[in-house]
Structure 1
Amino acid sequence: MPDTRLARVGAVVVFYHPDAGCIERANRLARWCRCVVVDNTPTCEESERIGAQLDDAVVYLPNHANVGIATALNQGIERLIADGYELAMLFDQDSESTLELIGGLAGVMQACIARRERVALVGPAYEDARLRGLAPFVRFGYFKLERVMSAGDVPLDVDFLISSGSCVNLACWRDIGPMDDALFIDFVDTEWCIRAKSRGFRVLGVPWISMTHELGEEPARAFGRNYPMHSAVRHYYLFRNAVALLKRGYVACTWKSTELVKLPVRLVIYACFVPNGRTHVKMALRGLWHGVTGRLGPLA
């Protein structure tokens, strides 16, 4: 049974070809709060197998297609809103949630709501041992990110939080609007945070709460540091969506300036420091072109 202390807190987990560990994590999550699993696994047969392994307490929404992370999150959040929930915890299928994480973030958000603060999202610090341990929070600066150390006992105003492990205030969902379906994947959480802040809402990092989370695949070593890496297809979406956001008026000029610096650096890394780099560069340039021409949605 869900923990009574979290009676108005729900969770959304997005599946895509989940393994046994992903299913086990979702079942454990359902013991603490309402858990909605939105499954983007394409095949009906695999969806049936997954559904049979999930606990009866899990709300299972199979799409039988990969509709993208934005659409899947929107589906899960809309289900929680329809069922009367006030807060939504968002998780990737491989994210390790704990009762302390959920209860802690929900407590911070509930305190903000009680003080009538316009807070859209709170999230933990995250740790990826393959990169540099506990990652700092981020504020946008001109031509580079301002990194804010994950320390202290006061929530920090930040410009961006990754979606996994974050807690959404559903009372402001209609004011901000849903995740952008057209982006499909990559920069979905960034765009939503930017839009929330452009409409007068705050995004808060909670430095005393942390979560283990791995960004992408095995990092690439370049210029004396580790860089998060993804598949060539993901790099298509990364470049395409970055360009799409550069064209939007509500997106902060600070973020735009930083991306204009980072995009050519990424191309150099793909070309020189990544196995099969030619494919990564080709897909990135294809994404760049589609972003310029306004072609969004899933890659056909």
Structure 2
Amino acid sequence: MSERPIGVVAVVATFNPDDGLLDNVRQIISQVDSVVIVDDASTNGAKVLSECEELGAQIIRFAVNGGIARSLNAGIRAARAQRAKYVLTLDQDTEIPDRYVETLVSAILSLRRSGVNVGLVTAGRMNGYDRRPRRTHDGVIVGIDVMQSGCLYEMDTVNEVGEFREDFVIDCVDTEYCLRLRRHGAAVVWVPNLELRHTVGATSPVYFFGRRFVIFGKSPQSSNHADFRRYYMMRNRLLLYAEFGRSDWEWLRHSVPNHVKDTLLAIVFEAGRASRLRAIGQGIADAIRNRTGPMASRSLPERRV
């Protein structure tokens, strides 16, 4: 029977958690030394958080909602205070399988022995599918920008590269971190045959004049993000194009077509086009002004981490 890795602290970002968090924490806490839950000013879920605390999780509560990056950074600082060697970042709705942490730690150790400068490792499959984009380089399956939930980092790497960018608030926080890792020459690695489950947003098929829209034999899905999400997605991605576009062509070639497609689907096919266009326009304007932080026209709204 394998031993549980030593020195791993899991950081779980929460906002209005439901009972599913309790099940996830039970699975996480059996695989790590410590679980730190950072709650971003929830208005619901106090009972669930208290039950997680009874299981042994440390709870950090914010009075004002400040975004996913601030939550992750607070958890990382708590992990650093516990002298953690590794940090696992998770959203409240991510489920990890048995021996998930053990597999990730083993992957880092193996990569290090092979001379790979590894930035992070994470599951190569999610919800039954291989995660993309991916390519094999010197026998290692590498990605570009990955969802932070389910990622394992060495604390030494975090100390060198820095924490998550809090002025981005919500969207592209994980993308920016991956780009920074790549700039440092550190690989973003998919671990094959390892899978996690993560609740995705309320996607829906696209319809045109009452008929399902199909292009090149595929039916695109609309993400149905709220207007404030569209603001952050547009603003933050444009800022990343300005900062990393010239130095990371592989990411740029992947990101731009996907972002354009997703934005066009939102403004052409989703309901509430006028308000969505205003949010996107404000995001463009603020990117041009290099303005970051919370959306200026309103207080920071509720989010799903």
TM-score, normalised on structure 1? 0.84
Secondary structure at the residue paired with 2:38? strand
What are the within-5 Å matches in structure 2 for residues 80-99 of structure 1?
Answer: 80-99=79-98
Summarize the Cα distance change of 1:228–1:268 in structure 2 as closer, same or farther, 3 Å threshold: closer
Deviation at 1:220, TM superposition (A): 4.2
1:118 aligns with 2:135: no
Partners of 1:158 and 1:262 in 2: how far apart?
A: 15
Alignment-derived partner of residue 235 in structure 1: 230
Deviation at 1:148, TM superposition (A): 4.2
Summarize the Cα distance change of 1:287–1:251 in structure 2 as closer, same or farther, 3 Å threshold: farther
What are the within-5 Å matches in structure 2 for residues 72-151 of structure 1?
Answer: 72-115=71-114, 117-128=116-127, 134-138=129-133, 148=135
What are the within-5 Å matches in structure 2 for residues 256-295 of structure 1?
Answer: 256-295=252-291
Alignment-derived partner of residue 49 in structure 1: 47
Gaps of 5+ in 1: 139-146
Range with greater deviation from structure 2 (14-23 or 216-225): 216-225
Q: Which residue, 136, 143, 150 being the options, matches 1:158?
A: 143
What are the within-5 Å matches in structure 2 for residues 174-253 of structure 1?
Answer: 174-221=159-206, 223=215, 224-227=218-221, 229=223, 230-249=225-244, 252-253=248-249
Gaps of 5+ in 2: 207-212, 299-305
Q: Aligned letter for 1:234?
A: R
Alignment-derived partner of residue 36 in structure 2: 36
Deviation at 1:271, TM superposition (A): 2.3
Q: Aligned letter for 1:53?
A: E
Partners of 2:120 and 2:204 in 1: how far apart?
A: 28
CA offsets 1:81-102 (integer angstroms, 9 cap, x no match): 2211111111111011122222
Partners of 1:209 and 1:228 in 2: how far apart?
A: 28
Partners of 1:84 and 1:156 in 2: how far apart?
A: 30
Range with greater deviation from structure 2 (224-233 or 203-212): 224-233
CA offsets 1:226-275 (integer angstroms, 9 cap, x no match): 33612222111100101111221575234335544444433321122212
Summarize the Cα distance change of 1:179–1:277 in structure 2 as closer, same or farther, 3 Å threshold: same
Partners of 1:114 and 1:79 in 2: how far apart?
A: 29
Deviation at 1:196, TM superposition (A): 0.7
| Percent of aligned pairs sharing the same letter | 22
Partners of 1:228 and 1:86 in 2: how far apart?
A: 40
8 Å CA contact 1:26–1:37 kept in 2: the answer is no
Partners of 1:83 and 1:115 in 2: how far apart?
A: 29
Partners of 1:215 and 1:56 in 2: how far apart?
A: 27
Alignment-derived partner of residue 12 in structure 1: 11
Partners of 1:35 and 1:192 in 2: how far apart?
A: 22
Deviation at 1:114, TM superposition (A): 4.5
User: Aligned residue pairs: how many?
Assistant: 280
CA RMSD of aligned residues (A): 2.4
CA offsets 1:161-216 (integer angstroms, 9 cap, x no match): 21111111211112111111111111111111111111121111112111122332
TM-score, normalised on structure 2? 0.82
Q: Aligned letter for 1:246?
A: Y
